[in-house]
């Protein structure tokens, strides 16, 4: 079977996990901090906080950004439900932008038009769909005019770069960036996520929030002394001779158990060493597909002219199924019979029953609706061979042109 996406593991990855298992420190050990530093170094951010999933990262980011009851936060209509759900988790009000027909990312024009009438903006969560960075310069400009925080949903975009060359995750345009470490993403820890930020106050809040809201003064952080540690409410109980008592901790706010384990951190640390080869291979595959689908009637390759900056988490086609005379479901079943897995990214969030009950209507997002009717994600991952790429393209073309 050729799935639409798949992780790649080698013996180094396996041994990295086995080593942690043998050493016995499964969680809250040194590998988590080592991974966080590696991500900060890779992206160019000042801080990184590992969490149990990308969704957990979005949830904590919303809280750390001050999203609460009555806050209006915009994200894109074409995304996984976690992008919007995280706003609800924090108590905010999600709002959706239609997408740009070329980039498939949040339409900043749509956002500006909506804000002309509502004048309500308390946050933006742009989603770098399929790994292609959004227009962060414009999004940052809009957010700044409302003094609103920006949280980049970069679940698809590990390894992607902005047009000027900076790496997604460096937070030059945002307060925080959130990555997913799910197995079909660029690098994996099994399940997991990581948040980057350049703001020390946000960083320390994220550390507390991911572990039950508990604070230990953060004396375990490099260079932290009593003078610059987090505030402890009861220092007389907490400290002896200027040092934290071994048993002491304070729950200072309502947090969560969103920690990443050490063996997961070891796995993704090993994966990070292969991040650039992983990305290079995805770009090779995309170039092959681009050539194979060139000029094929009823098939449009999406994001084709933006290959330089993207991480190519997905390779997306638009197929005019009505013109072809075949339902998408039947095309997907036919491909499955050929051992080719495909997927649709995504059922737009406002189209989901839960969000429809909140009052969102399909007709408010015409570009998203048009894209959704035609979208098909086809296989792209590191281990896909050239022969398999050609096989996938040939089978799709044969079915569409039959």
| Residues with active-site annotation | 185
Angle (nearest 5°) at CA 24 between 23 and 28: 115
Residue 198 DSSP symbol: S
Give the pairing type, strands 214-215 and 250-251.
antiparallel
* Rounded CA separation 105/160 (Å): 14
Cα-only R_g, the chain: 22
Query: Per the structure block, which two tokens stand in for 111?
Result: 């956002």
Q: What are 10's two structure tokens?
A: 């080698």
Residue 253 to residue 68: CA distance in whole angstroms? 15
- Output the six-digit token pair for 99: 């997408």
> Regarding beta strands 123-125 and 243-244, do their DSSP bridges make them parallel or antiparallel, or are they unpaired?
unpaired
Q: What number of CA atoms fall less than 13 Å from residue 304's CA on the CB side?
A: 15
Tokens for 81, please give them.
């439900």
Assign 152 to helix, strand or coil.
Answer: strand
Closest CA to 139 of 154, 127, 150: 150
Q: Distance of alpha carbon 167 from its chain centroid, rounded? A: 14
CA dist 232 and 226 (Å) reads 10
Contacts of 397 (CB under 8 A, 6+ apart): 292, 293, 296, 299
Distance CA 123, CA 74 (A): 6
């Amino acid at each position: 079977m050729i799935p639409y996406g798949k992780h790649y593991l080698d013996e180094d990855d396996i041994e990295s996990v086995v080593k942690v298992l043998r050493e016995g420190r499964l969680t809250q050990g040194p590998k988590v901090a080592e991974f966080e530093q590696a991500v900060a170094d890779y992206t160019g951010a000042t801080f990184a906080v590992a969490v149990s999933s990308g969704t957990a990262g979005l949830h904590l980011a919303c809280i750390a950004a001050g999203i609460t009851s009555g806050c209006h936060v915009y994200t894109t209509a074409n995304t996984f439900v976690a992008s919007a759900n995280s706003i609800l988790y924090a108590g905010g009000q999600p709002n959706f932008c239609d997408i740009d027909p070329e980039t498939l990312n949040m339409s900043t024009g749509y956002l500006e038009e909506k804000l002309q009438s509502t004048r309500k903006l308390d946050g933006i969560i742009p989603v770098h769909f399929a790994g292609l960075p959004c227009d962060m310069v414009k999004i940052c400009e809009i957010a700044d005019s409302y003094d609103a925080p920006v949280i980049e949903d970069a679940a698809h975009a590990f390894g992607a770069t902005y047009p000027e060359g900076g790496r997604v995750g460096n937070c030059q345009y945002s307060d925080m960036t959130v990555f997913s470490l799910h197995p079909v993403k660029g690098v994996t820890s099994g399940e997991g996520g990581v948040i980057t930020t350049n703001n020390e106050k946000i960083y320390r809040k994220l550390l507390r929030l991911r572990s039950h809201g508990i604070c230990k003064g953060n004396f375990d952080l490099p260079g932290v002394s009593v003078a610059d540690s987090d505030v402890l409410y009861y220092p007389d109980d907490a400290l002896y001779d200027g040092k934290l008592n071994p048993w002491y901790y304070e729950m200072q706010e309502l947090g969560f158990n969103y920690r990443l384990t050490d063996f997961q951190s070891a796995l993704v640390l090993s994966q990070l060493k292969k991040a650039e080869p992983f990305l290079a291979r995805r770009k090779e595959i995309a170039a092959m597909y681009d050539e194979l689908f060139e000029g094929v009637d009823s098939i449009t390759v999406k994001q084709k002219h933006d290959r330089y900056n993207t991480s190519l988490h997905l390779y997306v086609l638009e197929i005019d199924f009505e013109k072809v005379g075949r339902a998408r479901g039947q095309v997907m079943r036919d491909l499955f019979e050929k051992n080719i897995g495909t997927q649709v990214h995504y059922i737009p969030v406002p189209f989901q029953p839960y969000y429809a009950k909140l009052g969102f209507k399909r007709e408010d997002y015409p570009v998203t609706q048009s894209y959704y009717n035609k979208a098909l994600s086809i296989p792209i991952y590191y281990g896909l061979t050239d022969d398999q790429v050609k096989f996938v393209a040939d089978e799709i073309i044969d079915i569409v042109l039959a």
